[in-house]
């Protein structure tokens, strides 16, 4: 009697489990099909500005300044993001001597030209935390003495072209509206729940939570040993493109970095210092662009979408060399802190496009002005 009962319960449990598994598989298949259908080309090759973006931008500036204030702890006023630098280094950016004609755009117009540049390498966090903590890593490049009209009217004297990147190919939000909601929630101490703003499942952003978690990656052995992505799109002449900077060890002398003590708070700075200053070995990268094919799913207005390399390959347009140098001095580090990098410092040929870039136009300037003004008062 008891055995029969147990067998019945077992069979019922087995059937329930099978049913749940089947249901799970069905939901997964439907979600995959919906995702593939929803995320397929063609897409627009033009920007599409939603209403209310300017007002949301003002709101985000308030949050960004609040974050700068929150992370001060008696120090100087730091950046709202990428507060901690591993160093600012001098670099040479050489346009490929045999660059194909369609790729000769903007600062890449003259094949073989070498630009002098400054590079700032950083951690992503707003707080200058230990390098061993999972984080995005940033690279900002500033080409110097760039002739031509600058995009920002009031920045004409700069003569710069900046490329601002971090170490993950896509962003944890799609657009300005989502950024506003998510970052305000994060500034109020929410973490995972920032991606689930209400009880309405349509507002849940599980995929974006996974992107955020993947962006916060373990540290590379050195800032010279990871790839940095523009994440958001830019003009490239008349085309639209994303760009990235990847290590190119074949263009530099063979170098094996000695193992760094990763328990030390600033071991990424030590790694950079070891290579460039102690061992006097240069570091090499390639700068590559990925042109949009609007027939494919390569949207301009959604930074959470990585443009697939199978849809459009990355093409090398320049080589970057960071020569051996002594960058880690108090004077140079202060100068590094006081620099401003901004995707909008540059030429029309490389105009930032898409909502997240339109947002960055106002926010980078506001935060940079704020921290410079407050530091000057001290």
Binding residues vs ligand HEM (CB under 6 A): 60, 64, 79-82, 120, 122, 138, 140, 164-166, 171, 179, 231-232, 303, 340-341, 356, 359-360, 363-364, 367-368, 371
Q: Which is nearer to ligand HEM, 158 or 281 (CB)?
A: 158
Task: Give the shortest CB-120-to-ligand HEM separation in angstroms.
Answer: 4
**Residues 6+ positions from 20 with CB-CB distance below 8 Å:** none
Residue 356's SS3 state is helix
Q: Which is nearer to ligand HEM, 99 or 150 (CB)?
A: 150
Q: Which is nearer to ligand HEM, 281 or 367 (CB)?
A: 367
The residue count for the chain: 378
* CA distance linking residue 274 with residue 326, whole number of Å: 10
Q: Which is nearer to ligand HEM, 167 or 260 (CB)?
A: 167
Q: Which is nearer to ligand HEM, 111 or 144 (CB)?
A: 144
Task: Give the shortest CB-29-to-ligand HEM separation in angstroms.
Answer: 32
**Residues 6+ positions from 245 with CB-CB distance below 8 Å:** 139, 141, 163, 165, 227, 228, 285, 286, 287, 288, 320
- 166-176: b (≥16 Cβ within 10 Å) or e: bbbbbbbbbbb
Phi-psi region of 69 (alpha: psi -120 to 50; beta: other; left: phi over 0): alpha
Token code pair at residue 61: 């500036």
Name the residue number minimizing CB distance to ligand HEM.
Answer: 138
Task: Give the shortest CB-166-to-ligand HEM separation in angstroms.
Answer: 4
Task: Give the shortest CB-295-to-ligand HEM separation in angstroms.
Answer: 24
Token code pair at residue 233: 């799109």
Task: Give the shortest CB-196-to-ligand HEM separation in angstroms.
Answer: 20
Task: Give the shortest CB-244-to-ligand HEM separation in angstroms.
Answer: 10
Task: Give the shortest CB-110-to-ligand HEM separation in angstroms.
Answer: 27
Task: Give the shortest CB-42-to-ligand HEM separation in angstroms.
Answer: 23
Q: Which is nearer to ligand HEM, 165 or 322 (CB)?
A: 165
Q: Which is nearer to ligand HEM, 59 or 110 (CB)?
A: 59
Strands 137-143 and 234-236: unpaired
Asked if 290 contacts 312 with a C-beta cutoff of 8 angstroms, the reply is yes
C-alpha distances out from residue 170 to 56, 167, 214, 228, 229, Å: 22, 9, 10, 11, 8
Task: Give the shortest CB-363-to-ligand HEM separation in angstroms.
Answer: 4
Residue 333's SS3 state is helix
Q: Which is nearer to ligand HEM, 140 or 347 (CB)?
A: 140
Look at residues 220, 87, 96, 244 and name the one whose alpha carbon lies nearest to residue 164.
244
Q: Which is nearer to ligand HEM, 184 or 239 (CB)?
A: 184
Q: Which is nearer to ligand HEM, 99 or 302 (CB)?
A: 302
Task: Give the shortest CB-183-to-ligand HEM separation in angstroms.
Answer: 7
Token code pair at residue 349: 């040929």
**Per-residue DSSP letters for 47-88?**
----TTHHHHHHHHHHHHHHHHHHT-TTS----SSS--EEEE
Strands 161-166 and 283-291: unpaired
């Amino acid at each position: 009697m008891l055995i029969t009962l147990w067998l019945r319960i077992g069979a019922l449990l087995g059937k329930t489990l099978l049913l749940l598994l089947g249901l799970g598989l069905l939901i997964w298949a439907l979600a995959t099909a919906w995702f593939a259908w929803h995320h397929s080309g063609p897409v627009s090759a033009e920007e599409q500005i939603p209403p209310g973006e300017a007002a949301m931008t003002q709101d985000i500036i308030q949050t960004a300044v609040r974050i700068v204030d929150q992370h001060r702890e008696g120090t100087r006023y730091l950046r709202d993001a990428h507060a901690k630098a591993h160093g600012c280094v001098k670099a040479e950016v050489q346009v490929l001597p045999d660059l194909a004609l369609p790729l000769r755009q903007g600062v890449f117009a003259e094949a073989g030209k070498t630009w002098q540049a400054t590079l700032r390498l950083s951690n992503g966090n707003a707080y200058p935390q230990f390098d061993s903590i999972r984080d995005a890593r940033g690279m900002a490049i500033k080409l110097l003495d760039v002739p031509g009209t600058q995009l920002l009217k009031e920045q004409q004297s700069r003569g710069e072209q900046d490329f601002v990147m971090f170490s993950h190919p896509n962003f944890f939000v799609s657009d300005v509206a989502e950024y506003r909601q998510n970052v305000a929630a994060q500034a109020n101490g929410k973490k995972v729940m920032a991606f689930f703003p209400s009880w309405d499942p349509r507002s849940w952003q599980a995929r974006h939570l996974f992107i955020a978690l993947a962006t916060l990656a373990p540290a590379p052995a050195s800032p010279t040993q990871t790839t940095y992505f523009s994440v958001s799109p830019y003009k490239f002449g008349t085309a639209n493109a994303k760009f990235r900077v990847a290590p190119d060890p074949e263009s530099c002398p063979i170098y094996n970095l000695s193992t760094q003590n990763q328990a030390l708070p600033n071991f990424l700075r030590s790694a950079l210092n070891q290579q460039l200053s102690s061992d006097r070995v240069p570091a090499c990268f390639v700068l590559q662009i990925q042109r949009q094919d609007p027939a494919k799913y390569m949207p301009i207005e959604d930074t959470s979408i990585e443009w697939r390399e199978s849809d459009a390959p990355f093409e090398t347009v320049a080589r970057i060399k960071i020569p051996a140098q002594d960058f880690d001095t108090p004077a140079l580090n202060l100068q590094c802190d006081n620099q401003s990098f901004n995707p909008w410092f540059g030429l029309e040929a490389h105009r930032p496009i898409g909502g997240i870039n339109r947002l960055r136009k106002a926010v980078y300037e506001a935060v940079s002005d704020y921290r410079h003004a407050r530091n000057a008062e001290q």
